[in-house]
Amino acid sequence: MSSLVRRAVALALTGLVIYGVAPAIGEVLGAWPKVANLKPYWLVGMVVAEALSCLCLWELQALSIGTRDTTAVATSQLAGGALGRVIPGGAATAAAAQYNMLNAADVPRASIATGLAAATVLQVAALCVMPVLALPAIVFGLSVPHTLLETAILGLVIFVLMFALGVGVARSERSLRWVGRAVVNVSRKLPGDRAVSPALPDRLVVQRDEVFERLGDRLLRACAAAIGRWLFDLLALLTAITAVGAHPRFSLVLLAYVTAQLLAQIPLTPGGLGVVEAGLTATLALAGVRGGDAAVATLAYRLVSYWLMLPAGLIAWLVYRRRIATGGEDRAAAAS
Quick one: pLDDT at residue 335? 44
3-state SS class at 309: helix
Spatial separation of the C-alpha atoms in residues 196 and 244, rounded to whole Å: 53
Tens digit of each residue's pLDDT (9 = 90 or more) over 66-78: 888 899 999 999 9
Average pLDDT over residues 246-268: 84
Average confidence score pLDDT of the chain? 81
What local confidence, expressed as pLDDT, does residue 11 receive? 47
pLDDT value of residue 269:
65
Calculate Rg over the CA atoms of the chain: 21
Rounded CA-CA distance 69/306 in Å is 25
On the question of pLDDT at 281 being above 50, the answer is yes
Query: Which residue, among 312, 307, 314, has the nearest Cα to 29 in the 3D structure?
Result: 307
Q: Report which DSSP code applies to 197.
A: P
Q: What pLDDT digit, counting tens, does each position of 198-239 carry?
A: 777 788 888 788 888 888 888 899 999 999 999 999 999 999
Q: Looking at the predicted structure, is the pLDDT value of residue 82 above 60?
A: yes
d(CA 320, CA 318): 5
Distance CA 336, CA 325 (A): 17
* Residue 307: per-residue pLDDT: 85
Pick the residue with more confidence: 318 or 20? 318
Domain residue extents for the chain: 25-335
Gap between the Cα atoms of 260 and 289, Å rounded: 15
